[in-house]
């Protein structure tokens, strides 16, 4: 979608002009004020559309309710912009102009909402879905370019997570990482992964014909103020391995690299912002398959930091791959680590698709991330990291097992990961199992991948 900033969006010849309606207040447009029914009061989410019959430069005027003006915030703008854009798509509009008259600048959220709503994964359909092609804005601040890059990163992450596992292979992720501008990128192959001591990650990869790739992308300014590592779970397909999943649970498991897709989306655009820090994007990419060489329940693995793990369930594979990625990040002696993973069905059971789980070792760090998320509509809810969850992973034969009891699974997984993080490094773990991939539309998102985490982590990087 092309974005054009104009002096006055009201005068653009376009298919739809979107204006705002506040509760109990007239709009800026006479046609709407005159012809809208009484039931159109301006409550957030209400929409009234009218054909202008050449009385105005646009074919339609769409008034969208934004609630009470004093309660307006980025989330209300973004969600209702998305709603208006979906209506424009129904009207088969190609060009849309926004004339949102408020005291504040909301260009960022308008762009975010528009891009999210205009997204469609129709790459493999011979007949493409209708899309808005051009957006006109006025009265916006200078952050438009930034907003566009962020929206592109989200789209990239959604496309990649929606891509079938047959194409989005570890090899493909590595190729994409190597294609990004402004980064130093290294990809470690199977033999190097083994040699570097990543016994947990290597074991998970063994059941698949697709070779594993350990991807390390590095961005840096000349004199970085701090160093941060961002890690994405990159299971390109999770069959469960020998502890194979039932068909219904396996159906969406191409999305088990949504964390990796998020990190790739961020790293793709990062150099355009030129932040004054060093960022390491890390992905341990492989498939979890039950091939002849597959790792087995009862196997004892040694992670990169020397700790041993008894495999209790081959379907708890994400934490094994992340264990080695976390060790690798700690060896880089970064100041902070954020990992993002579709890690546990338990997190999905606990929070549904309303929020992602967040855990870590530093509450201030966690709260900063929660705050960044709340500004862009990505909710995070902190889950406990108590000793009880670690106790139930005790093993008779190794330092720990890779699963706990049936209950409290998201916290067990968090406590497992903690074993691979050095105490003096701030660390946050985002469990996006319930939010990365939607089985039915939710808020501004349609079915499928949401690109969750891209906006939160990118904003965190840019603001701290
Ligand atoms: N990739 C899954 C978690 C998941 C479930 C993501 C649903 C998205 C939607 C993960 O690898 C997994 O299989 N976890 C197991 C862990 C269990 C064996 C301890 C789970 O949650 O059932
Ligand atoms: Mg699994
Ligand atoms: Zn998984």
- Per-residue pLDDT reduced to its tens digit, 141-172: 767 889 999 999 999 999 999 999 999 999 99
Catalytic residue among 218, 245, 371, 443: 245
Distance of CA 354 to the CA centre of its chain: 14
Q: Are strands 448-449 and 437-438 parallel, antiparallel or unpaired?
A: antiparallel
DSSP 202: H
- Evaluate: CB of 3 within 6 angstroms of ligand 1: no
Kindly report the protein residue whose alpha carbon is nearest to atom 5 of ligand 1. 345
Alpha carbons 324 and 285: distance in angstroms, whole number: 11
Q: Given this structure, which CATH class describes domain 151-462?
A: alpha beta
Structural element, H or E, at residue 174: helix 170-179
> What is the predicted pLDDT for the residue at 464?
87
Query: What CA–CA distances, in Å, run from 367 to 317, 358, 370, 380, 428?
Result: 28, 10, 5, 9, 10
Kindly report the protein residue whose alpha carbon is nearest to atom 7 of ligand 1. 345
Query: What is the DSSP secondary-structure string of 81-140?
Result: HHHHHHHHHHTT-SEEEEE---SS--HHHHHHHHHHHH----TT-SSPPP---EEEE-S-
Q: Respond yes or no: is residue 319 known to be catalytic.
A: yes
Catalytic residue among 86, 206, 233, 319: 319
* Ligand 1 pocket: which of 343, 407, 408 to mutate (most atoms within 8 A of CB): 343
Kindly report the protein residue whose alpha carbon is nearest to atom 8 of ligand 1. 433
Cα of 258 vs centre of ligand 2, distance in Å, is 13
Q: Which atom of ligand 1 is nearest to the CA of 245?
A: 13
Cα of 240 vs centre of ligand 1, distance in Å, is 8
> What is the predicted pLDDT for the residue at 142?
65
First and final C-alpha spacing in the chain: 30
Q: Are strands 213-220 and 278-288 parallel, antiparallel or unpaired?
A: antiparallel
Comparing C-alpha atoms, which of 344, 339, 285, 283 is closest to residue 315? 344
C-alpha torsion 365→443→431→410, nearest 10: 110
Cα of 345 vs centre of ligand 1, distance in Å, is 5
- Evaluate: CB of 256 within 6 angstroms of ligand 1: yes
Contact call for residues 366 and 431 (beta carbons, < 8 A): no
> What is the predicted pLDDT for the residue at 141?
73
Alpha carbons 149 and 29: distance in angstroms, whole number: 32
Cα of 370 vs centre of ligand 2, distance in Å, is 26
Cα of 345 vs centre of ligand 3, distance in Å, is 9
Query: What is the DSSP secondary-structure string of 392-449?
Result: TT--SSSSEES---SSSHHHHHHHHHHTTS-TTSEEEEEE-TTTSEESS-BTTB-SEE
Per the DSSP assignment, residues forming a β-bridge with 95 are 134
Cα of 316 vs centre of ligand 1, distance in Å, is 6
Alpha carbons 357 and 412: distance in angstroms, whole number: 12
Q: Which atom of ligand 1 is nearest to the CA of 404?
A: 19
Q: Which residues of the chain have pLDDT under 70?
A: 103, 142
- Evaluate: CB of 383 within 6 angstroms of ligand 1: no
- Evaluate: CB of 96 within 6 angstroms of ligand 1: no
Q: Which atom of ligand 1 is nearest to the CA of 436?
A: 8
Q: Give 50-92 pLDDT, tens digit per residue.
A: 999 999 999 999 999 999 999 999 999 999 999 999 999 999 9
Alpha carbons 434 and 450: distance in angstroms, whole number: 11
Structural element, H or E, at residue 154: helix 144-162
C-alpha torsion 217→360→161→211, nearest 10: 60
Residues shown for the chain: 464
Domain-wise residue ranges, the chain = 2-139, 151-462
Question: Which ligand is located closest to the Cα atom of residue 357?
Answer: 1
Q: Which CATH architecture has domain 2-139?
A: 3-Layer(aba) Sandwich (3.40)
Question: Which ligand is located closest to the Cα atom of residue 436?
Answer: 1
Q: Which residues contact 363 (CB under 8 A, 6 or more apart)?
A: none
Query: What CA–CA distances, in Å, run from 411 to 28, 111, 218, 399?
Result: 51, 36, 30, 18
> What is the predicted pLDDT for the residue at 102?
78
Alpha carbons 458 and 22: distance in angstroms, whole number: 31
The predicted model scores a pTM of 0.97
Cα of 12 vs centre of ligand 2, distance in Å, is 51
- Evaluate: CB of 344 within 6 angstroms of ligand 1: yes
Q: Which residues contact 237 (CB under 8 A, 6 or more apart)?
A: 165, 208, 253, 254, 256, 287, 288, 289
Q: Which atom of ligand 1 is nearest to the CA of 343?
A: 3
> What is the predicted pLDDT for the residue at 140?
80
Question: Which ligand is located closest to the Cα atom of residue 412?
Answer: 1
Kindly report the protein residue whose alpha carbon is nearest to atom 16 of ligand 1. 316
- Evaluate: CB of 403 within 6 angstroms of ligand 1: yes
* Ligand 1 pocket: which of 252, 315, 409, 438 to mutate (most atoms within 8 A of CB): 315
> What is the predicted pLDDT for the residue at 23?
96
Contact call for residues 378 and 458 (beta carbons, < 8 A): no
- Evaluate: CB of 374 within 6 angstroms of ligand 1: no
């Amino acid at each position: 979608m092309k974005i054009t900033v104009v002096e006055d969006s009201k005068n653009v010849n376009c298919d739809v002009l979107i204006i705002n309606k506040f509760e109990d207040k007239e709009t800026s447009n006479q046609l709407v004020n005159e012809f809208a029914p009484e039931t159109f009061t301006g409550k957030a989410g209400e929409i009234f559309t009218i054909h202008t019959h050449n009385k105005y430069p646009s074919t339609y005027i769409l008034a969208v309710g934004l609630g009470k003006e004093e309660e307006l915030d980025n989330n209300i703008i973004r969600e209702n912009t998305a709603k208006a854009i979906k209506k424009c798509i129904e009207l088969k509009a190609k060009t849309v102009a926004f004339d949102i008259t408020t005291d504040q600048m909301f260009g960022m959220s308008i762009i975010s909402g528009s891009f999210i709503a205009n997204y469609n994964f129709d790459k493999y359909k011979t007949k493409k879905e209708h899309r808005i092609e051009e957006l006109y804005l006025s009265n916006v601040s200078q952050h438009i370019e930034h907003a566009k890059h962020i929206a592109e990163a989200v789209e990239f992450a959604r496309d990649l997570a929606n891509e079938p596992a047959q194409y989005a292979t570890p090899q493909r992720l590595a190729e994409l990482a190597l294609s990004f501008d402004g980064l130093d990128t290294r990809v470690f192959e199977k033999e190097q992964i083994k040699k570097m001591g990543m016994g947990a990650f290597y074991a998970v990869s063994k059941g698949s014909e697709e070779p594993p790739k350990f991807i390390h992308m590095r961005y840096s300014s000349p004199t970085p103020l701090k160093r941060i590592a961002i890690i994405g779970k990159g299971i390109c397909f999770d069959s469960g391995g020998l502890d194979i999943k039932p068909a219904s649970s396996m159906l969406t498991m191409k999305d088990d690299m949504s964390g990796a897709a998020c990190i790739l989306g961020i790293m793709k655009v990062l150099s355009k912002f030129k932040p004054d820090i060093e960022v390491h994007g890390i992905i341990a990419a492989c498939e979890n398959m039950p091939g002849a060489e597959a790792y087995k329940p009862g196997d004892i693995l040694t992670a990169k930091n020397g700790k041993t793990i008894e495999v209790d369930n081959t379907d708890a594979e994400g934490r094994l791959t992340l264990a080695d990625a976390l060790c690798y990040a700690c060896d880089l002696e970064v100041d902070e680590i954020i990992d993002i993973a579709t890690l546990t069905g338990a997190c999905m059971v606990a929070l549904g698709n309303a929020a992602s789980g967040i855990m870590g070792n530093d509450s201030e760090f966690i709260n900063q991330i929660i705050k960044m998320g709340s500004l862009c509509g990505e909710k995070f809810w902190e889950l406990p990291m108590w000793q009880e969850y670690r106790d139930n992973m005790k093993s008779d034969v190794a330092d720990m097992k890779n699963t706990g009891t049936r209950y409290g699974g998201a916290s067990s997984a968090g406590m497992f990961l903690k074993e691979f993080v050095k105490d003096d490094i701030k660390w946050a773990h985002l469990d996006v199992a319930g939010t990365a991939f939607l089985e039915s539309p939710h808020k501004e998102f349609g079915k499928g991948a949401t690109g969750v985490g891209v906006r939160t982590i990118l904003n965190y990087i840019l603001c701290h």
